[in-house]
Amino acid sequence: MSFIGNVFWFLLGGMPLALLWMLAGIFWFLTIIGIPIARQCFKLASLQFAPFGKQIVDEDRSGVSLIANVFWLIFGGIELALANLAVGIVYAMTIIGLPFARQSLKLARLSLMPFGKRVEKKSRG
C-alpha cells in the first residue's frame, strides 16, 4: 500500500511541493547562518516526496529544540501547518482522499515544529 500511495501522492502534488521545499532549503543553506533551517526544509521535502510508510519520531526534547521551534513558528511554521491542514481537510471531504488527508496531517504536525523530530520508515509488525 505504501508504494501505491506514494506514487499517487507524488503525481497528485507531492513532487512540486517537495521541490519547493528543496529550493527553500538550498537558499537557507547558502546563508550559512540558516543551515539549521535548511536541514528542516530538507526533512520536510523528504517526507513530502513520499509520506506513506514513514512516521515522525520525537528525537530531542532539549531547550535548544524548543527555542528553534519558537523561531520556526514565528517565521512561517504556523502558516505551513495551516496550509497542510487545509489540504488535509479538502482531501478528507472525499472518501477516497482519507489516506491522503492523514498524510497531510502528518506533514502539518512536522511543519509546525520540525526541530527535535526525525522521519523514519515505519516498522512492520
Q: Determine, yes or no, domain membership for 125.
A: no
Place of cell 502528518: 106
CA–CA separation, 61 vs 44, rounded Å? Answer: 19
Task: Output 76 or 106, whichever has higher pLDDT.
Answer: 106
pLDDT per residue as tens digits for the range 32-48 = 888 888 888 898 888 88
Q: For 74-94, what is the mean pLDDT?
A: 86
pLDDT class for 125, splitting at 50, 70, 90?
low
Non-local CB neighbours of 10 within 8 Å, separated by 6+ positions? 49, 50
- Indicate the number of domains in the chain: 1
Q: Determine, yes or no, domain membership for 51.
A: yes
Q: Determine, yes or no, domain membership for 61.
A: yes
pLDDT value of position 93: 92
Q: Are 103 and 52 in contact (CB under 8 A)?
A: yes
Range of the domain at 89: 2-120
Q: For 98-125, what is the mean pLDDT?
A: 85
Q: For 50-75, what is the mean pLDDT?
A: 85
How confident is the prediction for the chain on average, in pLDDT?
Answer: 86
Q: What is the largest distance, in Å, between two alpha-carbon atoms of the chain?
A: 45
pTM: 0.79
pLDDT value of position 13: 76
pLDDT class for 30, splitting at 50, 70, 90?
very high
Task: Output 14 or 92, whichever has higher pLDDT.
Answer: 92
